[in-house]
Amino acid sequence: MSVSHNNSSPMMSRRSVLRVAGAAGAAGIGAAAIGAGATPAAASTAFVHPGLLHTQADFDRMAAKVKAGTGLWKAGYAKLAGNPRSGSTWKATPLATVIRGATGDNVTTLAFDIAAAYQNALRWKVTGDTAHADAARDILNAWSAKLTTLDGSADRFIAAGIHGYQFANAAEIMRGYDGFDLARFKKMMLAVFYPMSSSFLAKHNGAYDSNYWSSWDLLSVACVLSVGILCDDRAKVDEAVTYFKSGKGMGSIKNAIPFIHPGGLGQMVEVGRDQGHALLSVGLLGTICEMAWNQGIDLYGYDDSRVLKGVEYAAKWNLGHDVPFTSWTWHKGAPGAWEGWETFTEASTWARGDVRPIWEGLYNHYVNRRGLDAPYVSAMAAKVRPEGGGGDYGTGGGLDHLGFGTLTFTRDKAIVSATTPTPSASTSDTASSSGTGAAATATPAADAAGGTQPQGGRGEDLAATGAGGIAAAAATGVLAIAGGFIALRRRGTRGTS
């Protein structure tokens, strides 16, 4: 396979780039704003707690079903209990500085500790065993007492996004537990994680808005949204939701899924890149939509259920079926540094059929909660079931998702026509001045690892982001698409980028 290239790069140094192609005419993808479609349900000014990936009703359902030894819940809990990170004897190894993508890379230490905190928190909620709650609390407290910096190559933004939303979810479960210092944890999230993700969405590390792949934007949206909910900060929630609908980068919904084919399949840009990153985007879309849903915001159904169309497309391809593909051209680079274009004409076979614990949430929402048809998502959920979690799928992309969806998302069919959670008064501690429910527009934050970066980013990190290179985009306004950076390192070392 091949890709047509047109690069102008006087300052460019790059690693090997994955190349894909096929046979068809290239079509430019415009950066048009989202059109009118399904209207998300209006959210109250108050927040539901717990209210990120799981509500109290979810925990009640899990506990009752596991206690009764019921089918899928029993199998899902057995998968959780069998993961070494879910043991109550797990001890945290907190770091002051976490590095990803550069000398001294130690991000896996953070990833495993977050997985342990989340898994122990889940086991406590399901069984009532406070030994697991104590373990989760101690992990979260240890990190909030020490972590001050995320650093590395441009991959530091990946660390902020992935581990930011995961950390927030673990903390949300532990909200109100004896000895958990939620106030200090919020301070860490607001000082270390949120600023980097917000800055990335606003400035894209000094690159063209179309340079970074959709997964980069989506993990940043997930972080901003989860921090907003954790901290009862309406402005941050609005920042995330607005970007999801109409952001200028690849992760806004019409750029992440730019083409709707006859029959209702939505072509995801990452499917043209490789399937590891396509499935990362699928998982992030589900995560964002579920967290928003639990606050009364329907992103699942937004723009005529565009998310459903995209994840059905990705599922169909990864199940081994053919999918239609519209060619498109990717505009990459950074203003004043270098730029290039690549045209992609077919779905990538790289990592096709990859397995990730991402399907149960999507299946249970669209099929069991909403009563919609999702045949390919349904088949993928059945194939992966029961879903595991952090550590069950390796140390690369296997740590990108919290997992255990068979336990946490399986629900009896009960069709609803709109979002059903009714936000209630927050049960959190009094919000600080940086975490109020004010409706003011959020101001994009600076990069916590070194201030807002100039156009060219930090040194050569734009050309060494670790992002896979296979997709296309175009210029803002005329051919704007979204993407991840070039300079892909060959897959196998780390799954996220």
Contact call for residues 327 and 345 (beta carbons, < 8 A): yes
Domains and CATH numbers, the chain: 4-33+48-417 (1.50.10.100)
Query: DSSP assignment, residue 364?
Result: I
- pLDDT given at position 418: 60
- pLDDT given at position 204: 98
Give dist(CA 338, CA 332) in Å, integer: 8
Tell me: cis bond preceding 375? Omega within 30 of 0 counts. no
Give CA 429 to chain center in angstroms: 27
For the chain, which residues score pLDDT lower than 50?
1-43, 421-496
**What's the predicted TM-score (pTM) here?**
0.81
Contact call for residues 173 and 50 (beta carbons, < 8 A): yes
Residues 6+ apart with CB under 8 A from 57: none
Contact call for residues 253 and 243 (beta carbons, < 8 A): no
* pLDDT tens profile 330-351: 999 999 999 999 999 999 999 9
- pLDDT given at position 18: 25
* pLDDT tens profile 274-311: 999 999 999 999 999 999 999 999 999 999 999 999 99
DSSP string, 264-324: S-EE-GGGGT-HHHHHHHHHHHHHHHHHHHTTT---TTHHHHHHHHHHHHHHHHHTT----
**The two three-digit tokens of residue 456, written as one number:** 């060219």
Dihedrals phi, psi of 389, to nearest 5 degrees:
-150, -155
Side chain identity, residue 330 = W
**Virtual torsion, Cα 45, 46, 51, 55, nearest 10 deg:** -120
- pLDDT given at position 301: 97
Contact call for residues 95 and 106 (beta carbons, < 8 A): yes
Side chain identity, residue 254 = K
Closest by CA to 493, choosing from 398, 402, 401, is 398
* pLDDT tens profile 389-410: 998 998 778 899 999 999 999 9
